Structures are given as C-alpha cells and as structure tokens.
C-alpha cells in the first residue's frame, strides 16, 4: 500500500486558516494592550497635574521651586544642603522660588512630591549617580508605556509662552539628561491622547506636542494637526501638558 505524498488542499487551507486566526488574535491582543497603555497615559497626566496643584495649595510653592523644602525634609534625603538646586549645586534641596522650574528643579520636584506623600514612589531628586539617562522609577515618574517617563520644567511650546509643563518621553544622555529628547508615542497615538484630554490639535490647548522644529508627528504648519503618517515615535516630538498650578 502506497503512503500519502502530502497534505490535501483542504487540509492546507484549514492549517492556513488556523494560523491566520492565531496571528490575528495576537495582533488584536497587542492593539488592545496598546490602547490600554494610552488610556493610562491620559490618567497619569491628569493625576500628576492634580498632585502638583495640591502641593502648591499645601505649601504655597511649586515642587522643585520651593524655597524652604530643606526645612521640611532635610532629614529625609532631600539633597545635601539648603541652597537652591542648580547645575553648579546639583545636591541643593531647595528651589529659587521664582515659580519657573529649571530643569534641575524639575528633577528635584518629583522628590519633593514623594516626600510630601502626594505621589507614590521614591525619587533621587538629582542624577549624581551619573546615569546614562534619567531612569523612570529612579529619577522621574515612570509612564505605563515602557521606557517613558515624566519631566516637569519651565519651557515653551507653540502658543504657550514659557510655562511649567509636564512632558512625556525619554530623556537625553550625558549633558542632555535633564531634557526629554525622544517620544514614546506615534502621531496617531499622540492625537488620541490629546483628543481625550484636550482639543486633539498639536499646537493649541492644554496638551501640545514638541515645538516647531520637531520632525515626525508634531506641528503641521498648515493646520496644527498631528502628522498621522508618523506611525512610529520620533525624536524631539514630545507630548507636553500645560500645568494648572503656576
């Protein structure tokens, strides 16, 4: 009796159908997970902004910018001295009190917030441990999106002329560690987050993207919309949330 030479067309079609269903199910699951991450980002922006506002109400100062933080937390690891934190004095616990957070004050801000028990976690408040880049969970609050973290400092985007902003992205390296340099969301994802919080437009409102020199998904000079063709995260195009507290 001669053995079978191979699969019949019917059997092959069944196998291919099963493979297609498995692949489709995996892709659909990945999409659902990504949508869940994006919804979490919306929540994180709002929660961090609310916590900063609560800090300002309680201490009459912004976290990181607070002149007398040392008086409250000198025994709890807030820097090494009572001087304002600067590039020249990176271990200072206090801010300068001018209501405009420098990048160094922005890093210290998250430590002030945890010491005030307004956000979870424990943050260094500086980067004297000399990391290659600021590490989410160690130096800055982590985002649900892997690798992403939140920065808080005084800068500008589009129609917002230098305000204290909460940014989502990945910090730069070495001398640019206190700056966000890389995005963790694509153009369509950025628009989705913006639409849930604000007006869905890249250059107006409380949520904005990067600045005019961005490449990739940021400002479209003809309409202020996100570039929907940018389906992967791009450098220098960071989502910025205009903080409520000033």
For residue 159, pLDDT over 70 is answered with: no
Q: pLDDT: is 200 or 42 the higher one?
A: 42
- In three-state form (DSSP H/G/I as H, E/B as E, the rest C), the secondary structure along the chain is CCCCCCCCHHHHHHHHHHHHHHHHHHHHHHHHHHHHHHHHHHHHHHHHHHHHHHHHHHHCCCCCCCCCHHHHHCCCCCCCEEEECCCCCCCEEECCCCCCCCHHHHHHHHHHHHHCCCCCCCCCCCCCCCCCECCECCCECECCCCCCEEEEEEEEECCEEEEEEEEEEEECEHHHCCCEEECCCCHHHHHHHHHHHCCCCCCCCCEEECCCCCCCCCCCCCCCCCCCCCCCCCECCCEEEECCCC
Q: Which pLDDT value is given to residue 213? A: 44
| pTM for this prediction | 0.84
pLDDT given at position 220: 47
What does the mean pLDDT of the chain come to? Answer: 85
Between 14-23, 25-34, 55-64, 163-172, the lowest mean confidence (pLDDT) is in 25-34
What would the pLDDT profile of 95-124 be if each residue is shown by its tens digit? 999 999 998 999 999 999 999 999 999 999
């Amino acid at each position: 009796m001669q053995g079978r030479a191979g699969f019949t067309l019917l059997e092959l079609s069944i196998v291919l159908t099963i493979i297609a269903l498995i692949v489709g199910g995996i892709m659909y699951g990945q999409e659902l997970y990504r949508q869940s991450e994006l919804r979490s980002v919306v929540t994180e922006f709002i929660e961090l902004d609310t916590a900063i506002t609560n800090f300002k109400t309680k201490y009459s100062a912004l976290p990181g910018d607070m002149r007398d933080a040392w008086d409250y937390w000198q025994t709890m690891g807030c820097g090494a001295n009572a001087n304002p934190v600067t590039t020249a004095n990176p271990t200072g616990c206090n801010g300068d009190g001018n209501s405009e957070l420098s990048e160094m004050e922005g890093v210290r801000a998250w430590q002030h917030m945890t010491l005030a028990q307004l956000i979870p976690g424990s943050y260094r408040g500086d980067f004297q441990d000399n990391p290659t880049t600021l590490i989410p969970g160690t130096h800055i609050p982590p985002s649900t999106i892997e690798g992403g973290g939140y920065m808080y400092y005084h800068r500008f985007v589009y129609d917002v002329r230098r305000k204290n902003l909460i940014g989502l992205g990945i910090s730069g390296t070495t001398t640019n560690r206190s700056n966000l340099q890389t995005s963790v969301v694509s153009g369509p994802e950025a628009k989705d987050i913006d639409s849930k919080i604000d007006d869905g437009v890249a250059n107006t409102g409380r949520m904005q993207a990067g600045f005019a020199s961005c490449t990739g998904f940021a400002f479209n000079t003809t309409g202020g919309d996100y570039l929907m063709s940018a389906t992967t995260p791009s450098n220098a195009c960071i989502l910025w949330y205009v903080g409520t507290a000033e």
